[in-house]
Structure 1
Amino acid sequence: MILFVGTAGVALPNVFKTWTGSAGGPDIILTNALILNIALILLGWHRYKALNTELVARRKSEQEARRLAEIDDLTGCLNRRSFADRLAVLLKTECSDERALAAIAVDLDNFKQVNDLNGHMAGDAVLRATAQRIERTLPAGGVLARIGGDEFLCVVPYYVNVSDRIEHLATRMIEAVATSVSHEGVSLDVTVSIGIASSIHLDKDLAADSAAQDLMHKADIAMYHAKKQGKNRYYWFEAPMENELRFRNKLEAGIRAGIANGEFVPYYEQQVDLETDQLVGFEMLARWESPELGVVGPDIFIPIAEEIGAIGELSENLIAQAFEDAKEWDPELTLSVNISPVQMRDPWFAQKILKLLVAHRFPPNRLDIEITETCLHENVGMVRSMITSLRNQGVHVSLDDFGTGYSSLSQLRSLPFDRLKIDRSFIGELRQQENGDALVNAIIAMSDGLKLPITAEGIENETILEALKRLGKMKGQGYHYGRPEPADKVRERLADHGLLAGPSEQVVDLAEQREKRSGKSSVDQRAG
């Protein structure tokens, strides 16, 4: 610009004089210098505008990158890192003797089933709707974040003397999220488990960042406790919950190590024909022979194994052991095996069972797979396919715990079950002589109409046994016949009664059995 002013100051008067005729002509060098200078100014101005545009775009990109680093892209909430930073600031600015912060952990119940049955697009729709509903319930000053796949965390300032408002807020969240979400014409229903932790329980000597992490951790612990207590509810954090969680983590590690070390073993409960009092088979029950905890029952480790995804491997190992044990029994004795609902979600489950039968050369007609009614409500089509595959190979399939899962008569008629097992809770009512047998009698009448034989669980005394004998023919099992026993005790029992297989009977050719079934089918077809 300085060069332009200097050059123009000399060249332009000469140009003006030339135009008016008072001079012979402009200085060519100065004129060219002026033109070149103007070109440089225009070029510089263009470059300035380009740089300015680039800086604005870069500034916007940095702001967007910062926003994406702090915000969950799916729901628009804060993410875990930015929430922790915000919580640390709030702990410094909002907490006093009268005011505190409540961290509220919200986790969707059974969200994996929504994804598995309806697809991830449906799951995303549920997450977005959940975030919007939670945010609408938050009071002024509340902050919401999505910190995991289906877990949200919010922080709300409140007055210490009115902590019940936080409880009312949690109740409203539960009610708001429970409303169905519509996605592509499908109604999706979910519930939430909520854990609440207050800043008044934090160590005052903690730094703000550490205090924020500790508060989030306590809310998580309370939320897991709510899930353990049945889901779709809320709990405040209490110190014993942390000890329970540590024990839970210890159990998880112990289960994984126990599977690798062969600590899970099959126990066997007798099954008896009530009409003849003859032993007809055994039900295999899992036990954990832990070096630290002793013998642990399935009610403790099975739910945890299901949650951590270890139930499939655990069950298949037990079934393999049971096949080897049962090959030593009399060939007429059957083996019943309970199957977890989690395993029934595996589309390859039937093939895995058949592979085990082939590998251990165990007769399929001696195996009875027991599935619970809850499996029928998750994916009836897949269950029907699995049952059909197993029965086509000669395996029997029973419906376990009948009466507790509210299966419909149409399901019982459409699914090819071989047997019904009456839940022990109904059998226990037979102690009441007045009307205890009414429900059991109704179930037996229904099974007769469906032409399904019955096994009664939970026979604990002679009174129940006599009542069942009066109601009809069936198999039974329970502590009246003895507690479940390990394989060596069962072998001793069977040896005393002459019910062990001979050497030639212990090895069975599965292919030969299939040929026999195929030959029988061909004969039946020719006879038809």
Structure 2
Amino acid sequence: MPAPDNTPTLSEAIPTVNGTRHDLVTLGVALAAIIVFVGVAGTVLPAAIRALQGQGARPDLILTNALLLNIALILLGWNRYKALTGKLETHRKSEEEARRLADSDDLTGCLNRRSFAAHLEKILGEGTKAESALAAIAIDLDNFKQINDVNGHAAGDLVLRTACDRIRQLLPDGASLARLGGDEFVCAVPYNLASPGRIELLASRMIEHVSRPVVHDGTALDVTISIGIASSIHLSEASKETPAQGLMHKADIAMYHAKKQGKNRFYWFEPPMENELRFRSELEAGIRRGIENGEFVPYYEQQVDLDSGELVGFEMLARWDSPEMGIVGPEIFIPIAEEIGVIAELSEKLITRAFADALCWDPQITLSVNISPVQMRDPWFAQKMLKMLVEHRFPPHRLDIEITETCLHENIGMVRSMITSLRNQGVRVSLDDFGTGYSSLSQLRSLPFDQLKIDRSFISELKNGEQSDKLVDAIISMSDGLKMPITAEGIENEDIVVALKRWGQMRGQGYHYGRPEPGDKVLERLAACGRLIQDSDSRSLDITGFSGADEMQKKADSGQRAV
């Protein structure tokens, strides 16, 4: 950016405050005194010199006093003028510093969002040579929030400063760097259209250099970045955005695509990405609206005892009954709900509806619910769940909480505490999708799970040969050693049922027993086989087996307030 013009304006040089006006008057008096001094000194000084030499009379006393007074006025005026000049210089430097602070990020020293947008707008407005273009490179630190939460804000600030310095060192002449806020950075880099590979090489080097560990208090912090690149040749004159906004927006879209594709990589902007992001934005808004309007509903998948064929439980599965899209599966909305921070609210509303449904079932039928790894990061999760049980008077021994192996790799100490709290009140806790998350045997032995669920990917392969049999056999042998019952997911036909029966008693679920159904269909199914209880009985159910229910209610309330 061009250096600011520091020449004081007329209004700066002649301030309007009264004190400064007096200074200017004093300077005028001093100038007049100098003029008088020149005239008087021409008469007094020669007479004084002759008098000292004894060649004439002493100079006139009045003129001599006038000369001395002029000298005093000159000195006073000069001092006042120097003071005024010093004030102007201080004022100029203060304005310069204020302008610098307004245009730069105080943590990293690079440009901020406002100044970068103006800078980029100016460059794009000036245009580039026919063979040149301008690339905007959007950079976002991956998993920065986790670094901040685990290691503190001082560590986070160090990571941001270090990442900024490493990026700045790689930028070519003529490039500029800005921090847009949080862990987002953006660069503007001119390049030759015949050599876009130079921009790709720069992005690759950024990924390599920034990913080097940052040491804070003896701890090595690993950080990666996702990069999106957009070129000024992508800009459209029909866009409602300014050129700078459009270029930054497109780079941001490409960066988001890089994150979605696995992070720690870069992508150039492509027009289909914009449609994808627009759809994603609509999904986010739809999910928030759907939670508020009660559009998310529980579906239930049967769990059957393989030996007797008896229905022993249901697993609750989330479905989105969208007015625009119809029934939407969880693989679409669950990851988005986790990212935008609404998964806990969504899950709690679904569980509440599931409790109401399950209170009408045969009391021997259990209810299994899946818990997101995001919810397991909440230290008050167990208290919230127990409070819900008390409020809805649902027997805890009928509830089975299912958590995935990925939860075990984040904070196993907190997970152990949550599992213990739930089990102490009679709630069962199962390890879901076992075999896909690489849990260690020591973790399984140290955590008090009630049950293991074999992932459907292993079960569905049973029909494909001996190798799959050995894998399932190894998992079941491990569960036997840990004295944990087994539930097999993904049973699709009778052949798999026959194969599983070889390993002894276990539960099973899958499309072989029927597809997941909404609550009203489950009621019809249970009514047909006489396994419903009367509404009056369900309202009078006590939470038998829930030890210290009143005390737990107080603790749950306290935990809720603490959150």
State the TM-score, normalizing by the size of structure 1.
0.91
User: Which secondary structure state, in structure 2, belongs to the residue aligned with residue 514 of structure 1?
Assistant: coil
User: Which secondary structure state, in structure 2, belongs to the residue aligned with residue 158 of structure 1?
Assistant: strand
Equivalent position of 1:105 in the other structure: 138
User: Which secondary structure state, in structure 2, belongs to the residue aligned with residue 299 of structure 1?
Assistant: helix
Mapped pair 1:203 → 2:236: yes
CA RMSD in angstroms comes to 2.5
For 2:416 and 2:473, locate their aligned partners in 1 and report how far apart those are by CA, in whole Å: 28
Equivalent position of 1:332 in the other structure: 364
Choose which of 127, 138, 142 in structure 1 pairs with 2:160: 127
Choose which of 313, 316, 319 in structure 2 pairs with 1:284: 316
Equivalent position of 2:419 in the other structure: 387
Q: Give 5+ residue unaligned stretches, structure 1.
A: 519-528
The residue type paired with residue 317 of structure 1 is K
Higher alpha-carbon deviation: 427-436 or 94-103:
94-103
For 2:314 and 2:212, locate their aligned partners in 1 and report how far apart those are by CA, in whole Å: 46
Q: What's the offset of the Cα at 1:300?
A: 0.7
Measured against aligned partners, the alpha-carbon deviations of 1:105-162 in whole angstroms (never above 9, x if no partner) come to: 1111221111111111111111122222222333333322211211111122222222
For 2:549 and 2:136, locate their aligned partners in 1 and report how far apart those are by CA, in whole Å: 66
Choose which of 73, 76, 85 in structure 1 pairs with 2:118: 85
The residue type paired with residue 118 of structure 1 is N
The residue type paired with residue 38 of structure 1 is I
Choose which of 433, 443, 454 in structure 2 pairs with 1:422: 454
Choose which of 97, 105, 111 in structure 2 pairs with 1:64: 97
For 2:173 and 2:504, locate their aligned partners in 1 and report how far apart those are by CA, in whole Å: 67
For 1:425 and 1:187, locate their aligned partners in 2 and report how far apart those are by CA, in whole Å: 36
The residue type paired with residue 477 of structure 2 is A
Measured against aligned partners, the alpha-carbon deviations of 1:87-113 in whole angstroms (never above 9, x if no partner) come to: 233335563332222222111122111
Equivalent position of 1:507 in the other structure: 540
The residue type paired with residue 72 of structure 2 is A
Equivalent position of 1:456 in the other structure: 488
Counterpart mapping for 1:103-502 below 5 A: 103-203=136-236, 210-502=242-534
Measured against aligned partners, the alpha-carbon deviations of 1:177-201 in whole angstroms (never above 9, x if no partner) come to: 2222211111211222221112222
Kept in 1: contact 2:390–2:549 (CA 8 A): no
For 1:27 and 1:512, locate their aligned partners in 2 and report how far apart those are by CA, in whole Å: 120
Q: What's the offset of the Cα at 1:517?
A: 13
Equivalent position of 2:24 in the other structure: none
Q: What's the offset of the Cα at 1:71?
A: 1.8
Measured against aligned partners, the alpha-carbon deviations of 1:316-346 in whole angstroms (never above 9, x if no partner) come to: 1111111111111111111111111111111
The residue type paired with residue 209 of structure 2 is A
Higher alpha-carbon deviation: 411-420 or 262-271:
411-420
For 1:107 and 1:455, locate their aligned partners in 2 and report how far apart those are by CA, in whole Å: 41
For 1:118 and 1:515, locate their aligned partners in 2 and report how far apart those are by CA, in whole Å: 37
For 2:121 and 2:297, locate their aligned partners in 1 and report how far apart those are by CA, in whole Å: 49
Measured against aligned partners, the alpha-carbon deviations of 1:461-498 in whole angstroms (never above 9, x if no partner) come to: 22222222212322121111111111101111111112
Aligned residues: 517
Distance of aligned partners of 1:37 and 1:448 in 2 relative to their CA distance in 1, 3 Å threshold: farther
For 1:22 and 1:515, locate their aligned partners in 2 and report how far apart those are by CA, in whole Å: 122
The residue type paired with residue 453 of structure 2 is K
For 1:291 and 1:229, locate their aligned partners in 2 and report how far apart those are by CA, in whole Å: 29
Q: What's the offset of the Cα at 1:251?
A: 0.9
For 1:142 and 1:492, locate their aligned partners in 2 and report how far apart those are by CA, in whole Å: 68
Kept in 1: contact 2:395–2:545 (CA 8 A): no
User: Which secondary structure state, in structure 2, belongs to the residue aligned with residue 147 of structure 1?
Assistant: strand
Q: Give 5+ residue unaligned stretches, structure 2.
A: 1-33, 552-563
Measured against aligned partners, the alpha-carbon deviations of 1:33-85 in whole angstroms (never above 9, x if no partner) come to: 54444333333323222222222222222222222222222222222222222
Kept in 2: contact 1:100–1:198 (CA 8 A): yes
